[in-house]
Structure 1
Amino acid sequence: MKSLETLLKQTVFSDEEIVYLLGLKDEQDCRALQKAAYDRTTELMGSNVYYRGLIEVSNVCTSDCRYCGIRKDNHSVPRFEMTKEEIVGCAKFAADHGYGSICLQAGERNDPKFIEFIADALRAIHAETISEQLPNGVGITLSLGDQTKEVYEYWADCSGNRDNLRYLARFETSNHELFNFLHHTPKKKNKHLEHRLQCLQWLRECGYQVGTGVMIGIPGQTLHDLCADIRLFQKIDADMIGMGPYLMSEGADLKEIGQMEAKQLIRLTLNMIAVTRLVLGNINIAAATALQVLDPEGREKGIEHGANVIMPNLTPLCYRGDYQLYDKKPNLTDDPSFFAAGLQQRIESRGRTVGFNQSGSSRKWLMRKEAGLQQSAVKQIPIKAV
């Protein structure tokens, strides 16, 4: 194995080198990895961190993913659905406060009523957020689960702003056995990894900036599994990555398997962020809110390790407590205006600036768009070969 100093100067890595970097534990070595990822981010992406104002539209879900606190079979959680007016109000707050984009997230549904509700909300958001600062309206990221290609195309049309349109669909793990363990609830409709990858391909064909990601520290997961996840990011040719630690939920079906010790888990998660930056280069990487469960400065440390996107929560306070995918979710009672001011200070304390009123598109996507390739499937995702 090459020296760590030599490895961190590379832009192309073998699987063996990726596994080695993911497994770093020595404090001095971890600082070197962090600095390399931070410097690489500055070189390729600049010094801005971009906001995606998070709006948790609904916790009604038709899926029963075993790790999730709002899964269908968790009958203890009160269900809610925001109104279109509430959603647009949150979007206007984002636009008025310089956020370049928002993220609409919800439990998984694909019934016609929900599809049309999202379409109406997208039209209204576009119409209500156009301004001198945002001439095309606020940008939108959707995180609404598996849909048909026709629905993805319909929502893209309704957004009115295809040049600032993203979709986040995490595949959670590229290990089929782990994927099945997380999703295959007995006697229930099961999810399949191949179908999630097909959805990502459709999103690419519909012109979205394609985002995906994984959970880190799943019981039974190995460093080789995480390396395979990074390789699948490459095969997907992802524009953005959203990933975070595997955390327990009282409402989930997997409480008995526990979770990794907090100090070990955040170290592994930060390593994964840093290595993903070094391997994938000019993509967007989000610093997950879940990092704060493990460390009060978790999101700031994510930025130090190569993340350049943060998702401040704009969901009305009356709903936040009922949208907990994992236990001990932070910021449930923080007023958006107060929280945003403090968040800017914390970002600037890490040597970064907030990219106000900017779309924050990944450089990878912008290069693809400039090459005139955005509307075609640049890389066919190997759906049968993961």
Structure 2
Amino acid sequence: MNNLTEKLEKKQFLERDEFKWLLENNTPELRADLSNRAQRVSGETFGKGVYVRGLIEFSNYCKNDCYYCGIRRGNEAAHRYRLSEQEILDCCALGYDLGFRTFVLQGGEDPGFSDEQMAALIKKIRAGYPDCAITLSLGERPREVYEAFYAAGANRYLLRHETAQRNIIENSTPGNCCWKTVRHVSRISKQSAFRLAPALWSARHHQTVDNLVADLLFIKELNPQMIGIGPFIPHQHTPYKDAKAGTLEETLLLISILRLMLPKALIPATTALGTIDPKGRELGILAGANVVMPNLSPVAVRKDYSLYDNKICTGDEAAECRVCLSKRMEGIGYEILTHRGDYPQE
């Protein structure tokens, strides 16, 4: 065990079977060892600071029908909403007053919110908040659209590929739309002005240890600046309502491995992690994550952006979320940082 975790900390490449051993022997002792090493590696670059992002979930319309997602097109029980441009700008104003210097605009692949509208909105946010970073999570777009968003003032793009394993995707997404996304991430991240960042779920339905190992190797090859990872949580109005949920233990192990693989990456302790365990976000930070994303969306629509069941913080005001997270981070010896939190350059 110590040989493998030491190799990871020394940035030595692990073979497929070595990653597999780590995932198959996920004991408290192994997680503690990896967590300690991940904290040490993270601390060398980020100290005890945690970057904070203001999340704005501006639309839950989506043209896709992915079987695991609560805002899938086929979920007739979903209460749909789409924030206006002014409502989104109001969220930014509130977030700025609370100290946020990164805004994350997230939505489904909404045909009713055009690329031109999005570019115009980005320009307004950039003009109003020149000292802030703008991150987008809007699904797959053509390369020229990414370039237009970048030219308008966006800085980062988080693209949810979920898994790099085609056999899982074929059982999860009509038309294999996410398989196209996997190939898209790999290709466009090397061509676009954006460094596209992958986001995946652990312990999804159909997922095996071999699948997770392949995902780790895919991410290592991609070498992203950001990595989103959280546990899969079923949604009651999807075909995956009875699927196996991800676990805290597996997600924490993967966070630590990713931190050691990519020491400077921006890795969030997600809301999903906090949903499956009351201390999930704190444990994520202690496992090597360095980002938290409180919600700036209007309280009236938060419950409607329901990718999975029992999502936390749907009734809290933005100021409450900000104060709560600050106290939670202080409770484990960390502090919220209010600057943009860019990827550290060499």
TM-score normalised per structure 1: 0.84
1:124 counterpart residue number = 124
Alpha carbons of structure 1 residues 191 and 354: separation in structure 2 relative to 1, 3 Å: same
Aligned partners of 1:344, 1:248: CA distance in 2, in Å? 29
Please report how far the alpha carbon of residue 234 of structure 1 lies from its aligned counterpart in structure 2 after TM superposition: 1.7
Aligned partners of 2:117, 2:9: CA distance in 1, in Å? 49
Alpha carbons of structure 1 residues 272 and 143: separation in structure 2 relative to 1, 3 Å: same
CA deviation vs aligned residue, 1:245-304 (integer Å, no higher than 9, x gap): 111001212224x214x7xx1100100111111112211111110012211010110000
1:148 and 1:199 in contact (8 A); partners too? no
Aligned partners of 1:255, 1:88: CA distance in 2, in Å? 35
1:326 counterpart residue number = 308
Alignment equivalent of 1:174, drawn from 157, 164, 188:
164
Alignment equivalent of 2:294, drawn from 295, 309, 312:
312
1:373 counterpart residue number = none
| Alignment partner of 1:104 is 2:105 | yes
1:247 counterpart residue number = 233
Which 4+ stretches in 1 moved above 6 angstroms? none
Aligned partners of 1:4, 1:230: CA distance in 2, in Å? 15
Please report how far the alpha carbon of residue 4 of structure 1 lies from its aligned counterpart in structure 2 after TM superposition: 5.9
1:372 counterpart residue number = none
Alignment equivalent of 2:144, drawn from 150, 156, 170:
150
CA deviation vs aligned residue, 1:67-96 (integer Å, no higher than 9, x gap): 000000101111111011110111122222
1:42 counterpart residue number = 43
Alpha carbons of structure 1 residues 221 and 195: separation in structure 2 relative to 1, 3 Å: closer
Identity of aligned residues (%): 32
1:201 counterpart residue number = 187
| SS of aligned partner of 1:171 | strand
- With 33-42 and 63-72 compared, the bigger mean Cα shift is at 33-42
Aligned partners of 1:58, 1:40: CA distance in 2, in Å? 37
1:222 counterpart residue number = 208
| Alignment partner of 1:359 is 2:340 | yes
| Alignment partner of 1:56 is 2:46 | no
Aligned partners of 2:23, 2:50: CA distance in 1, in Å? 24
2:185 and 2:198 in contact (8 A); partners too? no
1:70 and 1:251 in contact (8 A); partners too? no
What amino acid sits opposite 1:173 in the alignment?
Answer: T
1:335 counterpart residue number = 317
Please report how far the alpha carbon of residue 46 of structure 1 lies from its aligned counterpart in structure 2 after TM superposition: 2.9
| SS of aligned partner of 2:144 | helix
Aligned CA-pair RMSD:
1.9
Q: Which blocks of at least 5 consecutive residues in structure 2 are unaligned? A: none
1:149 and 1:203 in contact (8 A); partners too? no
2:56 and 2:91 in contact (8 A); partners too? yes
What amino acid sits opposite 2:45 in the alignment?
Answer: L
Aligned partners of 1:233, 1:29: CA distance in 2, in Å? 22
Aligned partners of 1:169, 1:5: CA distance in 2, in Å? 29
Aligned partners of 2:218, 2:16: CA distance in 1, in Å? 12
Aligned partners of 2:222, 2:111: CA distance in 1, in Å? 24
| SS of aligned partner of 1:54 | strand
- With 50-59 and 86-95 compared, the bigger mean Cα shift is at 86-95
1:270 and 1:302 in contact (8 A); partners too? yes
Count residues with an aligned counterpart. 345
Please report how far the alpha carbon of residue 10 of structure 1 lies from its aligned counterpart in structure 2 after TM superposition: 3.2
Alignment equivalent of 1:292, drawn from 256, 274, 293:
274
Q: Which blocks of at least 5 consecutive residues in structure 1 are unaligned? A: 130-135, 368-386
What amino acid sits opposite 1:259 in the alignment?
Answer: K
Alignment equivalent of 2:199, drawn from 181, 199, 213:
213
Alpha carbons of structure 1 residues 203 and 29: separation in structure 2 relative to 1, 3 Å: closer
What amino acid sits opposite 1:270 in the alignment?
Answer: L
Alpha carbons of structure 1 residues 199 and 228: separation in structure 2 relative to 1, 3 Å: closer
| Alignment partner of 1:280 is 2:280 | no
